[in-house]
C-alpha cells in the first residue's frame, strides 16, 4: 500500500519521557526528524517538536474533563494521516505502554495494514522520583515497586492500591491527585498513618514542585502548597532518601541525605 505521496504508511509510537526534553531518546529524535505528521499529547514538552521541523503537527491531548479528541478519533487520525502522508509519529508522555493506551493504537494501525514501530520512553514512574533522589527500590528498604493508575477507565481508583498498601513495596501512583484523600484513607485503614509520601508536580521540568509528608498529613500539605496534576505520588520508606525541600516552621531548608544517613536519623518529621 502506498500513500498519495508515494510513501509506505507507517506509525511510530514514541515515549517522550517525563518532561525534560533532554530525556528524549536519540532514537525518538531520529523518528521525529523523519516524520511527515506528528500527533502529540498534552503531557509532551513542546520543545521536542523542534526535531520534527518538516512535519505537520497535530495536537490530540487529553486531560481530565478536557479531551481535544476521543481515543477512537485519535485511532482514526493515525490511519488517515498515515494513508495520506506516510510516516505518522505518535508522541506520548513517559512511555507509550505505561498507561498510555499505546497498544490500542498499535493494534488499530496493524488492523489497517500499517507498519508499526514502538520506541520506548523513560517512564515518569521511575524518572520523576529519581529527579528528587528517591529510588523506587533500595537495598534494605524496598525490594519491589508497584506502578498504579489513580484513575481507571471508569474514573475510579484502581483496586490494586488496596493490595499494594498491605505490602512493604514502594508504590507509585500516576494520575492520582484527584484521589489523594482516598489514597491516604486506604493506607490509614491499615495503620500506616506515619508512612512517608512524596508528591512531585511537573517532574523533571523547570517548574517542578515537590512536597513530602506522611499519610496522615499529606492532603493538608499538598493543599497548602497548591500541588496539582500532573503529579507523581510516591509512597514508601524510600521517600526518606529524598533530596527535596521541606518546610520547617516558616523556613525552607534543603535536606542533606548524607548527613541524615550518617547520623542514622530520618530526614522527614511529622
> Coil, strand, or helix at residue 46?
helix
| Percent of the chain scoring above 70 in pLDDT | 86
Q: What are phi and psi of 192, to 5 degrees?
A: -110, 40
Calculate mean pLDDT across residues 225-250: 81
Q: Where are the alpha helices (DSSP H) in the chain?
A: 26-34, 71-85, 102-111, 124-131, 160-164, 180-189, 218-224, 257-262
pLDDT at 229 over 70: yes
- For residue 68, the model assigns a pLDDT of 79
Q: Distance (Å, rounded) from C-alpha 69 to C-alpha 241?
A: 40
Q: How many CB atoms lie within 10 A of CB 91?
A: 29
* Alpha-carbon dihedral angle through residues 226, 232, 238, 241, given to the nearest 10 degrees: -60
137 backbone dihedrals φ, ψ, rounded to 5°? -130, 150
Q: Round to whole Å and give the CA distance between 183 and 208.
A: 22
Average pLDDT, the chain: 90
Tens-digit pLDDT profile for residues 154-210: 889 999 999 999 999 999 999 999 999 999 999 999 999 999 999 999 999 999 999
pLDDT tens figures, 126-163: 999 999 999 999 999 999 999 999 999 888 999 999 99
Which residues are designated catalytic? 41, 62, 175
Find cell 508497584 and name the residue.
Answer: 146
Are the CB atoms for 228 and 182 separated by under 8 Å? no
Supply the pLDDT for residue 52: 98
* Residue among 223, 217, 148 at smallest CA distance from 184: 217
- Domain range list for the chain: 10-119, 124-262
- Residue 262's pLDDT is 44
Matching CATH number, 10-119, of 3.40.1010.10, 1.10.1740.110, 1.10.220.110, 3.30.9.10: 3.40.1010.10
- Which CATH code of 3.30.450.20, 3.30.950.10, 3.40.50.620, 3.30.470.20 fits the domain covering 124-262? 3.30.950.10
Amino acid at each position: 500500500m502506498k500513500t498519495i505521496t508515494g510513501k509506505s504508511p507507517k506509525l511510530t509510537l514514541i515515549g517522550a519521557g517525563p518532561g525534560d526534553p533532554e530525556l528524549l531518546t536519540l532514537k525518538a529524535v531520529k523518528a521525529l526528524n523523519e516524520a511527515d505528521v506528528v500527533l502529540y499529547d498534552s503531557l509532551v514538552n513542546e520543545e521536542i517538536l523542534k526535531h520534527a521541523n518538516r512535519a505537520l503537527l497535530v495536537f490530540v491531548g487529553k486531560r481530565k474533563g478536557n479531551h481535544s479528541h476521543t481515543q477512537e478519533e485519535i485511532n482514526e487520525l493515525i490511519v488517515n494521516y498515515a494513508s495520506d502522508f506516510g510516516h505518522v509519529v505518535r508522541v506520548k508522555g513517559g512511555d507509550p505502554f505505561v498507561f498510555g493506551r499505546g497498544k490500542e493504537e498499535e493494534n488499530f494501525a496493524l488492523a489497517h495494514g500499517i507498519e508499526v514501530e514502538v520506541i520506548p520512553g523513560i517512564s515518569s514512574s521511575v524518572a520523576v522520583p529519581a529527579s528528587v533522589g528517591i529510588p523506587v527500590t533500595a537495598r534494605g528498604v524496598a525490594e519491589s515497586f508497584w506502578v498504579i493508575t489513580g484513575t481507571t477507565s471508569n474514573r475510579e481508583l484502581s483496586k490494586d492500591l488496596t493490595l499494594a498498601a498491605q505490602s512493604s513495596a514502594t508504590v507509585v501512583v500516576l494520575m492520582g491527585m484527584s484521589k489523594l484523600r482516598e489514597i491516604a484513607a486506604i493506607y490509614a485503614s491499615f495503620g500506616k498513618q506515619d508512612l512517608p509520601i512524596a508528591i512531585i508536580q511537573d517532574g523533571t521540568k523547570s517548574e517542578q514542585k515537590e512536597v513530602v509528608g506522611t499519610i496522615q498529613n499529606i492532603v493538608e500539605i499538598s493543599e497548602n502548597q497548591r500541588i496539582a496534576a500532573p503529579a507523581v505520588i510516591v509512597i514508601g520508606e524510600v521517600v526518606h532518601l529524598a533530596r527535596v525541600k521541606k518546610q520547617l516552621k516558616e523556613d525552607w531548608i534543603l535536606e542533606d541525605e548524607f548527613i541524615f544517613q550518617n547520623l542514622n536519623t530520618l530526614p522527614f518529621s511529622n
